[in-house]
Amino acid sequence: MNLVSDFKMACRQRCPLCNEGALFKSDGSMGINDVCGYCGADLSSYDIGDGAVVFMIFILGFLIIPLALIFEYIVSPPLWLHAVIWSIICLGIIFKAMPVIKTYIIILENRHRKSN
């Protein structure tokens, strides 16, 4: 129930109830399975909305902008190189972090749903 164990659970991207069944569809769409394949829990009731996207905007904003400014100050590359480098880095971070953040939000939703 602490941040480290929650992060480890989120990295596994498993069902928040049994921690075994796959949370995301296997087609690579980052969509959440309707039912857990392991315990049969209804996963379609979890609605994270735009929460994961908002987290990504904040993380990328606080991470990428200072790095881009430092890179500009030290190297002063042409503008097109900035666009290429930071676009690739942003996309890489998004594709790696988005499922983890979605899983984390679902873990939190599941925890607070149980306490009600």
* Binding footprint of Zn ion on the chain (CB under 5 A): 15, 17-18, 21, 36, 38-39, 41
CB closer to Zn ion out of 14 and 52 = 14
Q: Which long-range contacts (CB under 8 A, 24 or more apart) does 35-43 make?
A: 39/15, 41/15, 41/17, 43/15, 43/106
Spatial distance between the Cα atoms of 81 and 2, rounded to a whole number of angstroms: 41
Considering beta carbons, is residue 39 or 83 the nearer one to Zn ion?
39
CB of 39 to Zn ion, least distance (A): 3
Distance CA 24, CA 31 (A): 6
Cβ proximity to Zn ion: between 12 and 66 the closer is 12
Residue with Cβ nearer Zn ion (34 or 72): 34
Rounded to the nearest whole angstrom, what is the least distance from the CB of residue 22 to Zn ion in the complex? Answer: 9
Closest distance between Zn ion and the C-beta of residue 103, in Å? 13
The strand pairing partners of 42, in sequence order, are 35
**Residue 26 beta carbon to Zn ion: minimum distance, rounded to whole angstroms:** 15
For 30, other C-beta atoms within 10 Å of its C-beta total: 13
